[in-house]
C-alpha cells in the first residue's frame, strides 16, 4: 500500500513539474488594432513565441507605421526643400508644398522621408504616368477626402496640371532629385504598400512564422495561417459586405484600388479620389476596381492605382507582361477579369 501511495505521489510530482517547468508556449494568434493612415489598421501574428514577446513585436510594428505616416502624410509633410534661385541664392524651408516660385527648382535629398521616391519614379515610368508621384497639386485641389467638396474650375485644374509630370524629376546629380517644374510629390498611392514591405522585413528579422498585415485594406499575407493559405476577400464595389471573390495566398501583398473607396457624388456623377494625372480629373473609365497580387507591397500599391487610371485593356496588358504581378480587374458591371497567372473556381481565386 505504501508502495502504491509512493508511486502516486511520484506521478503527481512529475505531472506538476512538467506543467510548470515545460509549459507549452501560447500558440494563439496575437492581434493589435490601431488608427493610422487615416484608417483602421491591424496586425495579427501567428507564432508559438510567448505572448509578451509577440506583444513587444506588434507594438514595434505599430510605432513604425505611425512614424512613417507622419513622414508621408500629405498634410503633415516633413520634407526638407531647397530653392535654387536664378541669382544664385539659396532658400531652405521645411515644407515640400510651399507655394510655387518662378526661376526656382526643388531639391529633395535621400533622407528617411524620401525612401519611396526611387520606387515611385520606377512605377511612374512603368505606367507611363498613369501612376504619377507628382500628383500632389491635383490631390490638394480636388480635396476628395475633405468635408467641403467643391468641383474645381477648368482654369484651376489646368493651372495645377502643368506642375504634374513625373518626367520633371531630374535625378542626374546622383545624390538628390530635382523637381524642375516646382511641383510637389505625394506618396499616398505607394506609402502603405511600401510600409507593409518594411513590416514584413521586421517580422523576418524577429523570426516570426506567420502574420496578416492589414493597413486599411492593404493586405500582406506573410507565411501561412496554421499551415493553410490565407483567404483574403475582394469586396464587390458599391455593396456593403458582399464579396466578388476570395484570394488564397501566402507571402503576397493583396491591394485594391477602387472608385468606390473614397468619392463624392454630385448630380448623379461619381468623383473618385483616383485622379488621372494627364487630364487632371477623377478617373471615368470602364473599371470599378483593381486588386493587384504581388510579392511586393510597394509594387501592388502603386500598380493598383496605375491600372485603374489605364483602364481594363491597357491595364491588364501591362499586368500580364510584368513579372511577379497578377491582378483582378472589376469592370463597371462588376464582372471579373483575371491576369493569365490566376485561376478561378467559383468565387475562389488562386495563383497557378
Task: Please tell me whether residues 241 and 321 are part of one structural domain.
Answer: yes
Give the pLDDT confidence score for residue 92 in this predicted structure.
36
CA distances from 346 to 111, 246, 349 (A): 47, 9, 8
Q: Rounded to an integer, what distance in angstroms lies between the CA atom of residue 143 and that of residue 275?
A: 11
Task: Please tell me whether residues 132 and 249 are part of one structural domain.
Answer: no
Domain of residue 161, CATH code:
1.10.3980.10
pLDDT surpassing 60 at residue 105: no
Domain boundary among 122, 148, 179: 179
* 1, part of any domain: no
Cell digits of residue 7: 508511486
3 state SS of 255: strand
Q: Rounded to an integer, what distance in angstroms lies between the CA atom of residue 352 and that of residue 350?
A: 6
- What is the pLDDT confidence band of residue 301, given thresholds at 50, 70 and 90? very high
Could you tell me which residue, 10 or 161, shows the higher pLDDT?
Answer: 161
* 226, part of any domain: yes
Structural domain containing residue 277: 30-73+189-351
Query: How many CB atoms sit inside 10 A of residue 173's CB?
Result: 9
Give the pLDDT confidence score for residue 147 in this predicted structure.
78
* 84, part of any domain: no
Task: Please tell me whether residues 274 and 220 are part of one structural domain.
Answer: yes
Task: Please tell me whether residues 162 and 63 are part of one structural domain.
Answer: no
Backbone angles phi, psi at 61, to 5 degrees: -65, -40
- Which of 26-35, 69-78, 101-110, 160-169 holds the top average pLDDT? 160-169
Pairing of strands 348-351, 243-249: parallel
- What is the pLDDT confidence band of residue 199, given thresholds at 50, 70 and 90? very high
Q: Rounded to an integer, what distance in angstroms lies between the CA atom of residue 59 and that of residue 206?
A: 13
Q: Rounded to an integer, what distance in angstroms lies between the CA atom of residue 227 and that of residue 233?
A: 19
Domain of residue 261, CATH code:
3.10.520.10
Task: Please tell me whether residues 138 and 243 are part of one structural domain.
Answer: no
Q: Rounded to an integer, what distance in angstroms lies between the CA atom of residue 231 and that of residue 138?
A: 36
Task: Please tell me whether residues 153 and 282 are part of one structural domain.
Answer: no
Comparing 6-15, 177-186, 309-318, the range with the smallest average pLDDT is 6-15
335 DSSP 8-state letter: -
pLDDT surpassing 80 at residue 6: no
Domain count, the chain: 2
How does pLDDT run across 31-45, given as a tens digit for each residue?
Answer: 999 999 889 999 999
pLDDT surpassing 80 at residue 223: yes
* 136, part of any domain: yes
Cell digits of residue 238: 458599391
Task: Please tell me whether residues 227 and 334 are part of one structural domain.
Answer: yes
Q: Rounded to an integer, what distance in angstroms lies between the CA atom of residue 31 and that of residue 271?
A: 35
pLDDT surpassing 90 at residue 160: yes
Domain boundary among 144, 179, 214: 179
Task: Please tell me whether residues 142 and 211 are part of one structural domain.
Answer: no
Backbone angles phi, psi at 290, to 5 degrees: -140, 130
Q: What residues pair up with 336 in beta bridges, in sequence order?
A: 330
* 239, part of any domain: yes
* 21, part of any domain: no
CA distances from 316 to 66, 289, 310, 352 (A): 34, 12, 9, 17
Cell digits of residue 340: 493569365
Task: Please tell me whether residues 158 and 258 are part of one structural domain.
Answer: no
Q: Rounded to an integer, what distance in angstroms lies between the CA atom of residue 91 and that of residue 114?
A: 20
* 82, part of any domain: no
Query: Percentage of residues in the chain with pLDDT exceeding 90?
Result: 61
Helix (H) or strand (E) holding 245: strand 243-249
Q: What is the mean pLDDT of residues 250-260?
A: 97
Q: Rounded to an integer, what distance in angstroms lies between the CA atom of residue 268 and that of residue 147?
A: 18
Q: Rounded to an integer, what distance in angstroms lies between the CA atom of residue 186 and that of residue 160?
A: 14
CA distances from 299 to 49, 116, 255, 296, 310 (A): 31, 11, 10, 5, 16
- Average pLDDT along the chain: 82
pLDDT surpassing 50 at residue 63: yes
How does pLDDT run across 112-121, given as a tens digit for each residue?
Answer: 556 788 899 9
Task: Please tell me whether residues 200 and 303 are part of one structural domain.
Answer: yes
pLDDT surpassing 50 at residue 345: yes
* 294, part of any domain: yes
The answer to whether 183 and 165 are in contact (CB under 8 A) is: yes
Domain boundary among 179, 212, 235: 179
Comparing 54-63, 117-126, 312-321, the range with the smallest average pLDDT is 117-126
pLDDT surpassing 50 at residue 87: no
Task: Please tell me whether residues 170 and 302 are part of one structural domain.
Answer: no
The answer to whether 172 and 180 are in contact (CB under 8 A) is: no
Give the pLDDT confidence score for residue 99 in this predicted structure.
31
Cell digits of residue 49: 513565441
Task: Please tell me whether residues 344 and 265 are part of one structural domain.
Answer: yes
Cell digits of residue 287: 473599371
Give the pLDDT confidence score for residue 176 in this predicted structure.
53
Amino acid at each position: 500500500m505504501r508502495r502504491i501511495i509512493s508511486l502516486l505521489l511520484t506521478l503527481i510530482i512529475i505531472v506538476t513539474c512538467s506543467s510548470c517547468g515545460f509549459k507549452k508556449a501560447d500558440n494563439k494568434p496575437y492581434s493589435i488594432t490601431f488608427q493610422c493612415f487615416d484608417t483602421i489598421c491591424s496586425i495579427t501574428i501567428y507564432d508559438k513565441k510567448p505572448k509578451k514577446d509577440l506583444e513587444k513585436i506588434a507594438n514595434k510594428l505599430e510605432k513604425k507605421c505611425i512614424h512613417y505616416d507622419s513622414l508621408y502624410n500629405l498634410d503633415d509633410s516633413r520634407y526638407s526643400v531647397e530653392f535654387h534661385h536664378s541669382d544664385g541664392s539659396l532658400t531652405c524651408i521645411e515644407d515640400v508644398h510651399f507655394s510655387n516660385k518662378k526661376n526656382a527648382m526643388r531639391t529633395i535629398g535621400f533622407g528617411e522621408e524620401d525612401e519611396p521616391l526611387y520606387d515611385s519614379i520606377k512605377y511612374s515610368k512603368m505606367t507611363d504616368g498613369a501612376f504619377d508621384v507628382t500628383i500632389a497639386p491635383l490631390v490638394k485641389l480636388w480635396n476628395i477626402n475633405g468635408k467641403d467638396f467643391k468641383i474645381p474650375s477648368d482654369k484651376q485644374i489646368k493651372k495645377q496640371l502643368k506642375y504634374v509630370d513625373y518626367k520633371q524629376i531630374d535625378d542626374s546629380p546622383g545624390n538628390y532629385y530635382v523637381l524642375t517644374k516646382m511641383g510637389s510629390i505625394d506618396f499616398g498611392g505607394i506609402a502603405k504598400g511600401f510600409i507593409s514591405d518594411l513590416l514584413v522585413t521586421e517580422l523576418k528579422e524577429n523570426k516570426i512564422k506567420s502574420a496578416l498585415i492589414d493597413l486599411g485594406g492593404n493586405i500582406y499575407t506573410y507565411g501561412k495561417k496554421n499551415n493553410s493559405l490565407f483567404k483574403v476577400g475582394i469586396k464587390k464595389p458599391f455593396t456593403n459586405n458582399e464579396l466578388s471573390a476570395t484570394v488564397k495566398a501566402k507571402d503576397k501583398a493583396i491591394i485594391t484600388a477602387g472608385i468606390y473607396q473614397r468619392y463624392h457624388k454630385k448630380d448623379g456623377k461619381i468623383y473618385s479620389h483616383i485622379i488621372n494625372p494627364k487630364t487632371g480629373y477623377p478617373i471615368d473609365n470602364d473599371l470599378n476596381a483593381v486588386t493587384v497580387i504581388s510579392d511586393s507591397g510597394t509594387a501592388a500599391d502603386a500598380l493598383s492605382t496605375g491600372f485603374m487610371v489605364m483602364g481594363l485593356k491597357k491595364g491588364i496588358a501591362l499586368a500580364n507582361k510584368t513579372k511577379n504581378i497578377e491582378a483582378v480587374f472589376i469592370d463597371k458591371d462588376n464582372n471579373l477579369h483575371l491576369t493569365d497567372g490566376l485561376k478561378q473556381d467559383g468565387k475562389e481565386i488562386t495563383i497557378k
